[in-house]
């Protein structure tokens, strides 16, 4: 089904029992976010908040809260869109399937944006009139969490050279002048940065429009990783089965299907503190200087609906975006990166911190000496491709005799790597590299390191899953646990300094030697603050291990050596304890949680729906 508005989509979901209206007055300060988080965790319906304190507007969340619901919203356009994207990337697809091409050709007209002669968003308001949703207790203010931020190339103005991205927008707080200024946060490898640079170089005002709402396809389009030169508006029209409608007013592009449009100009040579904000790695992104948008107008539809989401420790609603995008375009990486067969950015580890890949190994089939060759080349290509370049840990392998588990089968895939990796030759560090802005494991913003772990060939070891009495007696690092065969978790005292950690590692190594402990079955050892918690579930291990470590600083080795600048070891040690420079972990407000309990208790609006559901 195609939708011309967000309202149409909500009514359709309601008819199909996938949406609940909440008529009780709710507070945009923490309460709405708390309700959303609980419902999302229980895989519940979309939520239409009809009575929000301090605003006349209604709001919806959890719209894409389950994979099934997201696919339901695009049930008539998803596979057509997937095929046409493939045809665009590979024109031979058209020649190979001429009948399908003719069938889908009328659908392709939706890629062409349609200019309207008038702006039907005739209503205006102030920023302070909007649902000012404050998501986490330490957030710096209210944020827009599902914005579609539109910008253009000032040297080639117009819709065909535009960028539509989902960049965090801070509406209130800090030093922003209410109703006049808002914060514009964007990270590395974002198209808007290129547009701003061009505006600066050409001494032109940088005008930005922020669309909120509209057909659900528009929201998804804003997070699509499309190449430069291909506007997201084409994809928005395709998935919506409705050409993207727009007009211009006072030099600003206006999406006439959006529920709200905020227009403004980036103030030249001005940065203001933005944040903190509870982000999708499960920590707060801290206060940093970012561009400021001087607000021109806030337009809205007559009965506008404000969509929002809440991000936090993954998986959350935004994880569904990643799954949908991978299904639509995941094959494209294999086309672009020759030899790549499978790729997965592990959502439970925060996406960029951990990437798993399977490639080909065809360089030297005539040699008996099996070692990673082609997969190293593929790893370089991965780390030089768009947002994949932000990956921090990259595990990569290729099939030899035994089939490689799917990258989505994280546990078995990692075990496959650990059985085969040669820790003396196939551990490759990249230091002082670009780093995901939201990842505070590095010691500077946007800066960190990378580690490639490559494995190929026959099994080199039998992985252990048992803790003997010698391992249990360890004192430098203690409380041992096993999360999977080959991975030993040990608890350490709280991190103090890197110098202190070096001493601890040497003491640990000395203990092992004196007690003659055999750790050959545990090629990976992870030091944590709470081994019981980390070993409780693989998701805990993935999240803590890969979000709380920066390879160059936090990876050590037993029997480590450096030869010709290459780091080798017998066992890989990752120190995943919290460091002083790490960002705070997101924690809910207990008082707000008690308040929200009422909605889920007998007599509350959500009681009947969830009375038999357990978290």
Within-domain flag for 605: no
Residues 65 and 129 in one domain: yes
Q: Where are the beta strands (DSSP E) in 275-378?
A: 277-278, 284-285, 288-300, 305-308, 342-345, 354-359
Residues 21 and 156 in one domain: yes
Residues 75 and 224 in one domain: yes
More confident residue, 135 or 84: 135
Q: Which of 455, 484, 507 is the last residue of a domain?
A: 455
Q: What is the pLDDT of residue 603?
A: 85
Q: What is the pLDDT of residue 331?
A: 64
Within-domain flag for 586: no
Over residues 37-78, the pLDDT tens digits come to 999 999 999 999 999 999 999 999 999 999 999 999 999 888
Within-domain flag for 601: no
Over residues 181-204, the pLDDT tens digits come to 999 998 655 678 888 898 889 999
- End-to-end CA gap in the chain: 32
Is it the case that residue 153 has pLDDT exceeding 70? yes
Q: Percent of the chain having pLDDT more than 90? A: 74
More confident residue, 124 or 332: 124
Q: What is the pLDDT of residue 334?
A: 67
Residues 42 and 80 in one domain: yes
Mean of pLDDT values over 1-20: 94
Could you list the residue range(s) of the whole structural domain that residue 546 is in? 469-575
Residues 354 and 253 in one domain: no
Within-domain flag for 604: no
Is it the case that residue 473 has pLDDT exceeding 80? yes
Within-domain flag for 300: yes
Residues 492 and 451 in one domain: no
Number of domains in the chain: 3
| Tokens (6 digits) for 474 | 């360890």
Which of 40-49, 95-104, 508-517 shows the lowest mean pLDDT across its residues?
A: 95-104
Q: How far is CA 235 from the centre of its chain?
A: 20
Residues 487 and 394 in one domain: no
| Tokens (6 digits) for 135 | 């998501």
Residues 325 and 302 in one domain: no
Residues 492 and 440 in one domain: no
Closest CA to 579 of 476, 495, 513: 495
Q: Which of 455, 487, 502 is the last residue of a domain?
A: 455
Q: Is 73 helix (H, G, I), strand (E, B) or coil?
A: helix
Q: What is the pLDDT of residue 273?
A: 96
Q: How far is CA 144 from the centre of its chain?
A: 16
Q: What's the angle, vertex CA 76, arms to CA 149 and CA 145, rounded to 5? A: 25
Closest CA to 583 of 280, 303, 270: 280
Within-domain flag for 609: no
Q: Exposed, middle or buried by CB within 10 Å (0-12, 13-18, 19+), for 468?
A: exposed
Within-domain flag for 123: yes
Pairing verdict, β 447-455 and 393-398: parallel
Residues 243 and 338 in one domain: no
CATH, residue 567? 3.40.1670
Q: Exposed, middle or buried by CB within 10 Å (0-12, 13-18, 19+), for 510?
A: exposed
Contacts of 321-328 with CB under 8 Å at 24 or more apart are 321/64, 321/220, 321/223, 322/347, 322/351, 323/67, 323/70, 323/347, 324/64, 324/67, 324/70, 324/71, 324/74, 324/220, 325/220, 325/223, 325/224, 325/225, 327/82, 328/78, 328/81, 328/82, 328/85, 328/224
Q: Calculate the average pLDDT of the chain.
A: 91
Closest CA to 430 of 499, 502, 382, 360: 382
| Tokens (6 digits) for 37 | 């988080």
Residues 496 and 451 in one domain: no
CA-to-CA distance for 604 and 588, rounded, in angstroms?
A: 21
Within-domain flag for 594: no
Quick one: pLDDT band at residue 512, thresholds 50, 70, 90?
A: very high
CATH, residue 430? 3.40.1670.10
Mean of pLDDT values over 467-493: 96
CATH, residue 294? 2.30.110.10
Q: What is the pLDDT of residue 366?
A: 72
Residues 342 and 481 in one domain: no
Q: Which of 421, 455, 489 is the last residue of a domain?
A: 455
Which of 252-256, 480-484, 505-509, 598-602 shows the lowest mean pLDDT across its residues?
A: 598-602
């Amino acid at each position: 089904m195609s939708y011309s508005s967000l309202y149409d989509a909500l009514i359709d979901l309601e008819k199909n029992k996938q949406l609940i209206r909440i008529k009780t007055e709710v507070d945009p300060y923490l309460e709405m976010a708390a309700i959303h988080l609980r419902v999302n965790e229980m895989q519940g319906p979309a939520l239409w908040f009809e009575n929000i304190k301090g605003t006349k507007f209604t709001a919806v969340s959890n719209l894409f809260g389950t994979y099934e619901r997201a696919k339901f919203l695009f049930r008539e356009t998803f596979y057509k869109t997937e095929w046409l994207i493939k045809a665009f990337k590979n024109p031979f697809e058209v020649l190979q399937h001429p009948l399908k091409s003719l069938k889908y050709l009328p659908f392709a007209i939706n890629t062409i944006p349609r200019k309207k002669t008038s702006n039907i968003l005739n209503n205006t308001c102030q920023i302070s009139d909007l649902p000012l949703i404050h998501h986490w207790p330490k957030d710096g203010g209210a944020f827009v969490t599902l914005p579609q931020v539109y910008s253009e190339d000032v040297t080639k103005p117009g819709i065909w050279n535009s960028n539509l991205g989902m960049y965090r927008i801070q509406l209130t707080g800090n030093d922003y002048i209410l109703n006049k200024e808002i914060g514009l946060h964007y990270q590395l490898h974002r198209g808007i940065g290129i547009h701003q640079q061009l505006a600066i170089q050409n001494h032109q005002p940088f005008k930005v429009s922020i669309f909120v709402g509209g057909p659900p396809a528009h929201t998804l389009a804003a997070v699509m990783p499309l190449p430069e030169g291909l506007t997201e508006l084409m994809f928005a029209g395709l998935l919506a089965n409705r050409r993207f409608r727009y007009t211009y007013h006072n030099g600003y592009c206006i999406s006439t299907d959006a529920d709200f449009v905020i227009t403004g100009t980036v103030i030249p040579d001005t940065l203001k503190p933005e944040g903190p904000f509870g982000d999708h790695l499960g920590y707060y992104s801290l206060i940093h200087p970012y561009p400021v948008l001087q607000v021109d107008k806030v337009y809205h539809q007559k009965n506008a609906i404000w969509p929002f989401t809440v991000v936090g420790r993954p998986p959350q609603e935004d994880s569904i975006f990643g799954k949908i995008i991978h299904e639509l375009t995941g094959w494209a990486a294999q086309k672009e990166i020759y030899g790549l067969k499978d790729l997965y950015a592990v959502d439970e580890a925060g996406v960029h911190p951990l990437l798993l890949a399977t490639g080909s190994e065809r360089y030297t089939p005539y040699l008996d000496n099996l070692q990673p060759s082609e997969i190293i080349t593929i790893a370089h290509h991965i780390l030089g491709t768009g947002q994949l370049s932000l990956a921090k840990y990259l595990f990569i392998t290729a099939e030899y005799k035994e089939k490689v588990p799917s990258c989505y089968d994280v546990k078995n895939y990692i075990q496959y790597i650990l059985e085969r990796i040669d820790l003396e030759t196939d551990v490759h560090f990249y230091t002082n590299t670009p780093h995901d802005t939201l990842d505070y494991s590095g010691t500077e913003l946007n800066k960190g390191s990378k580690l490639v772990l490559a494995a190929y060939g026959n099994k080199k070891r039998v992985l252990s899953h048992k803790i003997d009495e010698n391992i249990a007696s360890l004192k430098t690092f203690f409380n041992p646990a096993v999360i999977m065969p080959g991975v030993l978790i040990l608890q350490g005292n709280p991190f103090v300094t890197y110098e202190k950690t070096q001493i601890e590692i040497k003491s640990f190594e000395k203990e092992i030697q004196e007690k003659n402990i055999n750790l050959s079955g545990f090629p990976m050892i992870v030091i944590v603050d709470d081994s019981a918690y980390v070993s409780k579930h693989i998701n805990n291990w993935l999240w803590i291990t890969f979000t709380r470590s920066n390879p160059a600083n936090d990876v050590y080795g037993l029997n480590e050596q450096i030869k010709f600048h290459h780091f080798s070891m017998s066992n890989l040690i990752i120190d995943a304890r919290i460091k002083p420079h790490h960002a705070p972990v997101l924690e809910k407000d207990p008082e707000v949680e008690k308040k929200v309990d009422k909605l889920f208790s007998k007599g509350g609006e959500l009681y009947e729906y969830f009375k038999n559901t357990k978290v």
